[in-house]
Structure 1
Amino acid sequence: MEVEISGQSIKLGQFLKLVNLVESGGHAKEVIADGLIYVNGEPATSRGQSLVDGDVVSVPSTGDAVTIVADGAAPEERRNS
């Protein structure tokens, strides 16, 4: 699944709320601390982590994966191009 964001980046905690994986910033902090969220195949460590175009946020326990599609990101700003 792809999710488009406005701008060139979004914080992980905000993104998790945007896609309804968590209810609040505190909940985001908990699921990240519990090792339930991965970014580009690596365990996430901070809800303040910036996500850019092409990043993949996944929840291995559910099999869900979401690819970030940033509005207006230049090709050189994309991590996975």
Structure 2
Amino acid sequence: MSEEIGITTEYIPLGQFLKLANIVESGGMVKIFLAEFEVFVNGELENRRGRKLYLGDTVEIEEFGSFTVVQEG
């Protein structure tokens, strides 16, 4: 089962999403994190921190779990 992460905007960049999901502590850590861990967005390997995530997108990270982007509120 995936954890739901709520956003209030149309989309969220992957780097901000990782901070919102409490996977990284700061934006500076995102680039390093993406170099060290395989992050899959909707089943495809992704390493761009600016990748836009929309409602319904799924982010999977081994050792951290699966997350789904949902509308907050």
Please classify the TM superposition score into its range, dividing by the shorter chain length.
0.7 to 0.9
Q: Secondary structure at the match of 2:22?
A: coil
Relative contact order (alpha carbons < 8 A, sep ≥ 6): 1 or 2 greater?
A: 2
Structure 1 unaligned spans of 5+: 72-81
- Post-superposition Cα deviations, 1:21-55, rounded to whole Å, max 9, x if no partner, equal 01112211112122432111111121000000110
Which structure has the larger Rg?
A: 1
Partner of 1:67: 68
Aligned residues, how many? 70
- State the 1:15 CA deviation: 0.5
For residues 27 and 64 of structure 2, what CA distance do their matches in structure 1 show?
22
For residues 14 and 60 of structure 2, what CA distance do their matches in structure 1 show?
11
Which TM-score applies when normalising by structure 1? 0.76
Q: Let me know the Cα RMSD of the aligned residues.
A: 1.5
Q: Which stretch of structure 1 is more off in the superposition, 9-18 or 30-39?
A: 30-39
Structure 2 unaligned spans of 5+: none
Which TM-score applies when normalising by structure 2? 0.84
- State the 1:14 CA deviation: 0.3
1:35 touches 1:43 (CA, 8 Å); kept in 2? no
Percent of pairs identical after alignment?
43
